[in-house]
Structure 1
Amino acid sequence: MVPSLARMSVIIKSQHETSVMTGNYEMAYICGLLCRLTGTVPPSLETPVQLQEDMMKLLENYSPEDDREKVVIKMLKFYKPTACWMIRSGSCTGWDWKRKLHGKDKITGD
């Protein structure tokens, strides 16, 4: 997913209480957005699952300012990350997802 599509997806989904996240790009964008809103430093990146857990810990004492923030936090809380790894690239929230599993790109085999 292109970072701008992840951004638009999150914007649209934040307006609907029953929305769910469908991919790691959305999760990465939401984590970056929530770090910006809370003024916190993004957690270290090990795996998508670890990022989600660390981000939820950072949000324990945060009070959302409006319903859209509540929806975004709920989407992050209930998201089930896929088994992809991340690499630094400068897009989206500063992190881009690489489709790697067991050290090989699932698409190219590299």
Structure 2
Amino acid sequence: MKLDGRKAFRVRMDHKQSVNLMGSDGTWRRKCVLLDVSQSGAKIEVEGTLDVLQAKEFFLLLSSTGLAYRRCELVWIDGTTAGVHFITADGKRRPVSAPAAAAQTSVQSK
């Protein structure tokens, strides 16, 4: 399902998926709920103060052990909800792949 006219195919979570944000230097951590996710980014609801997001770059920890994570940057904040964009190892934004774009087209036409 493509939401809000976005470039990437997004999956909306049916159940609350608890994840964490962590500063790239490890000095802070915030609990949050994953609302939707795509290959290129995610929408999250953050618990607590959002002042730490001023860092602009941080990690989204997808597992309690920290073994599954994505490096990301802040795109927008609206109240307690935030949008993040995933960054690749070379420091560039993660592009939408051709298979994902083809899936978007087939889903939109149904």
TM-score bracket, normalised by the shorter chain, equals: 0.3 to 0.5
Higher strand share: 2
Higher relative contact order (CA 8 A, sep 6+): 1
Relative to the length of structure 1, the TM-score reads 0.35
Q: What TM-score do the two structures reach when normalised by structure 2? A: 0.35
Identify, as 1 or 2, the structure richer in helix.
1
